[in-house]
Amino acid sequence: MRVLLTACVTTALVVSGPLAAGAVGRARESPVGGAQLTTEPTVVAQGATPPAVHASAFLIADLDTGAVLAAKAPHAKLRPASTLKTLTALVLLPRLTKTDQVVGTDQDAGIEGSKVGVYPGCRYTVDLLFQGMFLASGNDAVHALATHDQGGVPATIDRMNKLASQIGALDTHVTDPTGLDADGQLSSAYDLALFARAGLEREDFARYASTKYTNFPLVKKPGTYQVANQNHLLFTYDGALGVKTGYTTLARNTFIGAARRGGHRIVVTMMNSPHGITEEASNLLDWAFKNYTVLTPVGTLIKPVTTESKTGGGPNVSKKSSTRTPLPKRSRTILEHGQAVQSLAFRVPVWFYAAPPMLLLPLFLRRPRALKAQARRLKARRH
């Protein structure tokens, strides 16, 4: 009996031990970009202390080398607001033809949030809509562009989530390409830096991000009205490359800004900031440029493993294109032989494997008592 019990308990420990160890091992995996880049609200920097900012999370990095120079809660999952439009642009820019004409709809004009002025029945080039998206953060322009692409808004969302995964932006989940507050829509200061880095490698993205003014057509009379870029860094900071600002009631101020000085391109991302976003971004950029030679990187912006064509989610395909490609299917994981069982085993609590021996224990304990009782009855009969 003891041998059997020992074997059962040993089996439970042997099976459960690796599972528990595996769970601990997964919990200790380093975050993307390095072990120091966590969700903790602690500023991480080596060589010099960055200026204090009100943002709940921020990251400063070299766009060329990918070296992260300082960070605070860079992987904290927060609402991105319109900074998410950088990911929207990464998906749509390679897919849409800039000279295509897009007719505004009631759905475009009726969308919530900031608008650049897309009106039903009016015609706009894709190029002008991208300007309205970057400069005025126009949600109406985003909706018009996404609807113009094959599959519309739902397909754009799918492509955005797929692309975020491909480039290592694992904190990001998209449910609305405009960046409006929506259930489950999250990103991080680290991921925003990845979007900026990938975007600024594209000539068209960089041009839109740094454009200060554009003109949109009037509706009721001939002429245009001027639209200014909402990223004030472009107007106040020497060497600014722009990128994107954002604001919603729940996200508060979010920001992606970049600048070039002394042969270096530095990006700053900030999330959940109550005020002073341009001034604080300028202070962080000044600090990075001034202390660049004495700073030791605390992490890195990982490089995407995809090619440029894959980064865009496919070839240029719009509703009016003659070439049609099927919508991308949601990715699924194919397990190797033996992994399916292991995957299921990880979902089973450790105590489950010890339960069978414990349940069998009373059966073995009951038998010795029965044998003792029988021995007493036989002894009584002899007497």
Catalytic residue from among 85, 115, 187, 273? 85
**For the range 320-328, what are the long-range contacts, defined as Cβ-Cβ under 8 Å and sequence gap of 24 or more?**
320/100, 320/148, 321/97, 321/150, 324/150, 325/150, 327/150, 327/151, 327/155, 327/158, 328/155, 328/158, 328/159, 328/162
How far CA 49 is from CA of 2, 6, 75, 342, in Å, comes to 64, 58, 20, 46
> What do you get for the CA distance between the two ends of the chain, in Å?
32
Residue with tokens 């609402």: 79
Instruction: Read off the amino acid at residue 342.
Output: Q
Q: Confirm whether 85 is a catalytic residue.
A: yes
Q: Confirm whether 320 is a catalytic residue.
A: no
Specify the DSSP element, H or E, that contains 217.
Answer: strand 213-217
Q: Which two tokens stand for residue 326?
A: 């099927």
* Residue 77 in marked binding region: no
Burial class (CB in 10 A: 0-12, 13-18, 19+), 294: exposed
Catalytic residue from among 16, 72, 115, 137? 137
Q: Which residues are annotated as a binding site?
A: 244
Q: Which residues are annotated as a binding site for substrate?
A: 244
The residues annotated as belonging to the active site are 82, 85, 137
